[in-house]
Amino acid sequence: MRVKVKYEKFLPVLTMAKKQKIYVLDTSAILSGKPINLNDVDLVTTSGISDEFTPGGRDYKIFQFLKEKGLTIHSPSKDSIEKINAVSKKTGDLSRLSKADIELLALSLDMSKDEENEVVILTDDYSIQNVANALNIKFESMSQSGITKRFKWTCRCRGCGKNFKENIKICPICGAKTKNIVSGKKAILK
């Protein structure tokens, strides 16, 4: 009897120590062809990403294979989509993210709210990585090296040199074209 009590006392500690690892896959991760370690890992993606794979092609076979291996499809909450919109506007990534990218980030945010989950986004997209980092969500790159610096995009006018936070193509002051520059680099601690 005494042994049982002791065991129960330790049980919550043991449960907390083991987090469930969840890989959130974007299209680039699915198509990378790189082996994904499937042991003890949940694979998830969004319906938006799923829609990018239409029956018939080679890509669809890869997608089907992952589904057979346990890849599940989820829809993110509206709250999280709004949050991603707000955060990516701040980092300057909003115009670089597709609807599917935003949903993927929102789903990752939803899943990281459960403290028992260890969420990792698998993506080669720098803007997804940048927003994920701003939200303290982990990411892993499949083929590229992955960003090591958190960065902020700014638009600079080629004519008068004024900087704009918004992604605008034509300068409202002098009418010249703008270019994208990176500002505010900050090292990411991995």
**C-beta of 27 vs 178, nearer to Zn ion:** 178
- The distance of closest approach from Cβ of residue 166 to Zn ion in the complex, given in angstroms and rounded to an integer, is 14
- Binding segment for Zn ion among 20-28, 94-102, 109-117, 159-167 (CB under 5 A)? 159-167
Nearest 10 degrees: Cα torsion 152, 89, 136, 39: -100
- Binding segment for Zn ion among 10-18, 87-95, 130-138, 171-179 (CB under 5 A)? 171-179
Q: Check residue 181 for interaction with Zn ion (CB under 5 A).
A: no
The H or E element containing residue 83 is helix 78-91
Q: Check residue 159 for interaction with Zn ion (CB under 5 A).
A: yes
Beta strand pairing call for 149-157 and 163-164: antiparallel
16 SS3 class? helix
**C-beta of 86 vs 173, nearer to Zn ion:** 173
Q: Check residue 155 for interaction with Zn ion (CB under 5 A).
A: no
- Binding segment for Zn ion among 33-41, 49-57, 69-77, 165-173 (CB under 5 A)? 165-173
Nearest to 19 by CA among 106, 130, 124, 138: 138
Question: Where in 1-102 does DSSP place strands (E)?
Answer: 20-25, 41-46, 72-74
Q: Check residue 174 for interaction with Zn ion (CB under 5 A).
A: yes
CA-based torsion, 147, 150, 155, 158: positive or negative = negative
Q: Check residue 66 for interaction with Zn ion (CB under 5 A).
A: no
Positions 82 through 111 that interact with Zn ion (CB under 5 A):
none
Among 11, 16, 173, 182, binds Zn ion (CB under 5 A): 173
CA distance 107 to 120: 11
Query: For residues 88-110, b (16+ Cβ closer than 10 Å) or e, as one string?
Result: beebbbbebbeebbbbbbbbbbb
- The distance of closest approach from Cβ of residue 61 to Zn ion in the complex, given in angstroms and rounded to an integer, is 50
**C-beta of 86 vs 174, nearer to Zn ion:** 174
Residues that bind Zn ion (CB under 5 A): 157, 159-160, 171, 173-174, 176
